[in-house]
Amino acid sequence: MKVRELLELKGHDVATTSPSTSVRAATQLMNERRIGALVVMANDGIVGIFTERDVLTRVVAAGCDPARTCVGDVMTKDVLTCTGETTLEDCRRIFTERRIRHLPVVENKKLIGMVTTGDILAQEVREHEQTIQHLENYIRNP
């Protein structure tokens, strides 16, 4: 399966923020949306990603004040992305090798979605359930 197909199932909504947003406001948005990352945008382009890991390592552990620290100062700047044509297997490999959990999806330099490790796991569960159902039907009706 390709990322484009997964986005059709889950939707294209992506939570974004700007580099000037306070860490407190960004984490409040993440909590409200029950998500682990925000794509950081400036001038219609991706300039970073702000994740739970950034909060832990660059804000909490560093003793920064979330109300006074801007996302742009603590975000991850080197953002890996994928396209709609990327396979879920390739995404899984990137997640494992790079130890990340979020991949923004970009087409023609525009952000069109986000794929997460949770999305991949949910899709694998759906595929396994379909296989189990098929095998059960086969056994019952040879």
Identity of residue 66: P
Query: Does the structure show a pLDDT above 80 at 48?
Result: yes
Cα separation of the two ends of the chain = 29
Its pTM stands at: 0.87
Contact (CB, 8 A) for 69 and 59:
yes
| Calpha distance 19→23 (Å, rounded) | 10
Mean pLDDT, rounded, for 56-63: 96
Domain count, the chain: 1
Domain that holds residue 25: 3-140
What is the model's pLDDT at position 30? Answer: 97
Mean pLDDT (the chain) is 93
Q: What is the pLDDT of residues 71-81, one digit of tens each?
A: 999 999 999 99
CATH (domain of 55): 3.10.580.10
